[in-house]
A and B are shown apart, each in its own frame.
Chain A
Amino acid sequence: MIESITGGYLNTEITGMILVLIGLYGLMTKEDLIKQVLAINIISTGVVLYFVGVGYVANGESPILPADLMVDPLPSTLMLTSLVVDVAVTAVALAIIIRITGDGR
């Protein structure tokens, strides 16, 4: 169904990039601080999706035992680290937002 709308051009990488752009749009237009943190999370998700797409090989095996044609495991592994960064940053941002009330300028 989606294929028929996009004409086969929509793959995981492009979806990731679109998510990044949506996140940037959120950062550019939304004034609410919580929404900005959510926008950062959307950007992060987009980047993760992009990397997973980079590592994907059509019809590839899962890279547990060496096979002829495998999915590239490295990008997905890198993304585990980037997710940790994302979680840490979100937590810090939310903690700062809680304390920001009455902070003055």
Chain B
Amino acid sequence: MIPLMVAIPLITAFILTLIDSIGVKGPLIRIIFLSGIISPWLIFIHLLGLTPLDQIVGGWQRISGIEVALDSMNIYLLFAELAIFSVVALFALIYFEWTPATERIVGRSILPWKPHVGPLRHGPIYPLMLLMHAGAIGALISRDLFNFFVYLEIAGVSAFIMVAYSDEKGAKRAAYRYLLYSITASFMFLMALGILYMNTGYLNIQLLQENLVMNRDTQFALWIIVASMFVKVGLVPLHLWQPKVHSKSHVPVAALISGIMVTLPMYRLILIVSYFDGISSYLLMIFAFASIFFGMVVALFEYDVFRLLAYCTISQMGFILLGIASSNYDGALDHLFTHMLVKVGLFLGLGAVIYAKGSRDIRELNYRDKPILMGSIILLSLSLGVVYPLLGSYSLGGIIGGLDGGTRYLAMLASIGTLVYYIKLNHHLIQTGETEARQPVFLPVIAMVLTLVVIIFTIIYIPSISLYGIIALPISLLTYILFCKTGIFKLSWQPIYDEDKMTLGKEVNIYTTLFVLVILLFLFQWF
């Protein structure tokens, strides 16, 4: 029953491509698209009462079949995935089918979108989104490493194409970069699977755990898997694809990449580190702090909304890696769940603001005339720090609470930094500016659905009160005021790595070299 969740979007994507090619237009395509996105919910709700559930596809034995599971490790992530896709699909329907900013008609329309005549401008986006949906569900439920690779590639290839579909200048380059980095990592991952298979004869994660004898070979294979997941998650120093991909692609696509494409490898990393104990936490800790602080510092000085969110993703992934490194897997999974919902909510909410204005600079944007959207963006952005009683204080507070000594204070400092750049974002957005009435009314409404989900989970998981959770927000406010008064935000700095002066080929060379260096670091850690 579980694999059906993957099968339905796959079949729908096929049907959609088929009927699109024979010239069917209009509402039928939208209805099929939405039904493909929504229908896995039915199976999910049906299976909810039966968890924990473990199945081998086709009823084979575990050693010869592919195992899929639905248990406490992935059920929340799967819920978040389904919620995100349902909301993003609705958002995308309006975003892509409303006439774009330049040719927009002044005034509100009664219909949620202006019906299109002729072929869909972004027709292929819908089947691609369904493919990504199928790949994401498959990667979350699969307990077989090769099967995971295949699903991740299904989701990945559709993500590359969706990024390339943007009309923004530089989108094709961003897509090429993303594709090349990601696929190099994939093949290294596959190579490592080969080493594991040679040593044990299995690729099922449960059987691997039972049969794996730790030696130099298998340990090296596990570290290659970790390094390739680093590329796909986008952790420092292998993060170079993230900011461009987010800032060049369409809003729904950027939301999906930040919410889904980054989550899948991170979830697999949690699974692998929790199953095998040959991975030292010391190195992971160093990489985690590098990501946290790099993402935080760059986001403090960033004025492009989506680049800010991209660096925030890098920093938050660092926090999750910190949870993994301190063996706090539950905390890591909780924060992964929070990050998925909150980040996609932020992307869609800010996307609605951007859509009205046509600019991505936070100094030119404002949400003053839309009070509910304003409230939801403030709530979501504070949810990524530790602010009692928001969702972040449960999940991120759990990760920080699991640390000890100096690392704990460093993590607290970083979470205050997170709040500071979100206060900066909201401070810029709250200032009054000219109001924009030319916007599809439904766009912000859809964006706020995820806020509702976050609020529900906030109420369910209200944490026990802690001193840090209460004082974090006042401290970050004071820090922000201090930064403003001393003029730190006015500093301009020259990045060491100047993206604009380098050819695309050269960038790929540098990135691959970094990737190889990280692998070599992992290889030589025993000497």
- Residues of chain A touching chain B, judged by Cβ–Cβ distance below 8 Å, are 13, 17, 20, 24, 27-33, 36, 40, 43-44, 46-47, 50-51, 54, 74-75, 78, 81-82, 85, 88-89, 92-93, 95-97, 99-100, 103-105
User: How many whole Å from B275's CB to the nearest CB in chain A?
Assistant: 20
* Cβ-defined contact, A96 with B146, below 8 A: no
Does chain A have a CB within 8 A of B183?
yes
What 3 pairs between A and B have smallest CB-CB spacing? A31-B505, A104-B169, A27-B512
Beyond A47-B187, A51-B194, A99-B164, whether A36 also contacts B180 by CB under 8 A is yes
A36 and B505 within 8 A (CB): yes
Whether B198 contacts A28 by the Cβ 8 Å rule is no
B residues touching A (Cβ–Cβ < 8 Å)?
A: 146, 149-150, 153, 157, 160-161, 164, 169-173, 175-176, 179-180, 183-184, 186-188, 190-191, 194, 197-198, 499-500, 503-506, 508-509, 512-513, 516
**Whole-angstrom distance between the alpha carbons of A62 and B9 in the complex?**
37
Q: Report yes or no: B516 in contact with A28, Cβ–Cβ below 8 A.
A: yes
In contact, B512 and A100 (Cβ under 8 angstroms): no
User: A75-B197, A103-B172, A105-B169 are known contacts; what are 9 more A-B pairs with Cβ within 8 Å?
Assistant: A27-B512, A31-B506, A33-B176, A36-B508, A46-B191, A47-B190, A75-B194, A78-B146, A100-B176
Chain A nearest Cβ from B82, distance in angstroms: 25
Question: Given the complex, which residues of A lie within 8 Å of B169, measured CB to CB?
Answer: 103-105
Q: Which residue of B lies closest to A51 (CB)?
A: B194
Measured between beta carbons, the chain A residues less than 8 angstroms from B183 are: 40, 89
* A26 → chain B closest CB, angstroms: 9
CB <8 Å contact, A28 and B509: yes
Bound form: Cα–Cα A27–B504 in Å: 12
Q: A93 and B176: CB pair below 8 A?
A: yes
Closest Cβ of chain B to A80, distance in Å, is 11
A39 to B: closest C-beta gap in Å:
9
Q: Complex: how many Å from CA A54 to CA B169?
A: 45
Given known contacts A20-B187, A33-B504, A96 and B157 CB-to-CB distance under 8 angstroms: no
Residue of A nearest to B189 (CB): A47
Report yes or no: A43 in contact with B170, Cβ–Cβ below 8 A.
no
B54 vs chain A, min Cβ distance (A): 22
The answer to whether B194 and A28 touch across the interface, beta carbons within 8 angstroms, is: no
User: A47 vs B149: C-alpha distance in the bound complex, in angstroms?
Assistant: 14
Q: Who on chain B is nearest to A72 by CB?
A: B201
Where chain A touches its partner, the secondary structure class is helix
CB of B279 to closest CB in A, whole Å: 22
Q: What is the CA–CA distance of A85 and B269 in the complex, to the nearest angstrom?
A: 22
The complex places the Cα of A46 from the Cα of B194 at a distance, in Å, of: 11
Instruction: Select from chain A the residue with minimum beta-carbon distance to B499.
Output: A105
Let me know if B173 and A105 touch, CB within 8 A. Answer: yes
Given known A20-B191, A33-B505, contact A103–B171 (CB-CB < 8 A): yes
Residues of B within 8 A of A51 (CB): 190, 194, 197
* Cross-chain contact A85 with B513 (CB below 8 angstroms): no
Q: Are A31 and B187 CB-contacts (below 8 A) given A85-B153, A96-B164, A104-B170? A: no
Contact yes or no, B505 A96, CB < 8 A? no
Q: Contact at B175–A96, with CB atoms within 8 Å? A: yes
Given A100-B173, A103-B171, residue A92 in contact with residue B157 (CB < 8 A): yes
* A97, B179: Cα distance in complex, Å: 11
B157 touches A89 (CB 8 A): yes
Complex: A82 Cα to B183 Cα, angstroms: 11
Q: Give every chain A residue within 8 A of B184 (Cβ-Cβ).
A: 24, 27, 40, 43
A36 to nearest B CB, angstroms? 6
Chain B nearest CB from A9 CB (Å) reads: 16
Instruction: Specify the chain A residue showing the minimal Cβ separation from B504.
Output: A33
Q: Which residues of B contact A43 (CB under 8 A)?
A: 184, 187
Chain B residue with the shortest CB-CB distance to A36: B508
Other-chain contact of A24, B170, B190, B194, B512 (Cβ < 8 Å): B512
Most A-side CB within 10 Å, residue of B150, B164, B176, B179? B176
The reply to whether A32 and B505 contact each other, CB–CB distance below 8 Å, is: yes
Q: By the criterion CB–CB under 8 Å, are B504 and A29 in contact?
A: no
Residue of chain A at shortest CB distance from B161 = A92
28 pairs, A vs B, C-beta closer than 8 Å:
A13-B198, A24-B184, A27-B180, A27-B512, A28-B516, A29-B509, A30-B509, A33-B505, A43-B187, A47-B194, A50-B191, A51-B194, A74-B197, A75-B197, A82-B190, A85-B150, A85-B186, A88-B157, A89-B183, A92-B161, A92-B164, A97-B176, A99-B164, A99-B172, A103-B169, A103-B170, A104-B170, A105-B170
